Amino acid sequence: MHFQGYFLATLVVLLGWLGTAAAAPSELVKRASLTQVQNFGNNPSGVKMFIYVPAKLQAKPPIVLVLHACQWTASRFFGTTKYGQLADQHGFIAIYGQTPTDGACWDVSSTQSLTHDGGSDSTGLANMVRYTLQKYNGDASRVFVTGESSGAMMTQVMSAVYPDMFAAASEFSGEPAGCFYTGTVRGWNSQCANGQVSKSPAEWASTVRAMYPGYSGQYPRMQVYHGDVDNILNINSFNESVKEWSGIFGYSGKPTAALNNNPGPRLTKYIYGDRLQGIWGHGFGHVVPTNETEALTWFGVL
């Protein structure tokens, strides 16, 4: 009886220790959560701001603005991308923007959104970044933007409209900034989507510079992804995007190098200069999946 009682007591202690040990990792690794911010400044169109601030931040953290596709939301995009986990590892802040109406496309077509501090979605998104820089002592020289589809279009728009805000951009299956112009908010430009809009590099550069008149500084480094069997946004958008940013950077528009199966299978990376890369997706439709590690490497965060 004495031995049995001792055995039971030991078993209870052992089970308790195992329970504590099992709970320890979750207690030690407390992950942050995606949190909505209500008041972040002037927000003409009512875009929504969600932020991921890891428990361990860099002293002056980089900031990455992440933009979803049509029919998506910030929380859904957050759940399918790895920026949260990578922020935990590297101490940067991720802002997930969301359109005013859940599932809507970004406004990349109105004069307001295509003008520096002109209103609509682009102004609200810029103020999310300004708010985050101030509140978290962010590094204004390391602010980046990325997105898929409609979010990729807005990535190029933000790079054109707020070139002084972003150091680099990485877009997955979008369109050149200004290509989707209709003069209406959240308009659909079939000519652009179908690959029927073609401009010279100089014409594209003029379109971009008109979005921030008087700006004479550097524009963000640009990384463009597109799939060659995209039936939503024609592959010609890849060529026009390359021409647009080649015009801005003064490049010839012809690649100086081509890297096969880079940054992954069926992808070819074309290098046009130190500020412009194009990644052609062989057999990819809409969209070329987000490559978070490659984007953050391009940004210089990793």
Q: Which residues are catalytic?
A: 149
Return d(Cα 48, Cα 67) in angstroms, integer. Answer: 11
CA 102 to chain centre: 18
3-state secondary structure of 257: strand
Q: What per-residue string of b and e applies to 112-137 under the rule 16 or more CB within 10 Å gives b?
A: bbbbbebbbbbbbbbbbbbbbbeebe
Closest C-alpha among 241, 237, 280, 273 to residue 257: 273
CA 87 to chain centre: 14
Q: What is the DSSP letter of 289?
A: P
Residues 133 and 63: beta-carbon distance below 8 Å: yes
Tokens of 91: 């101490």
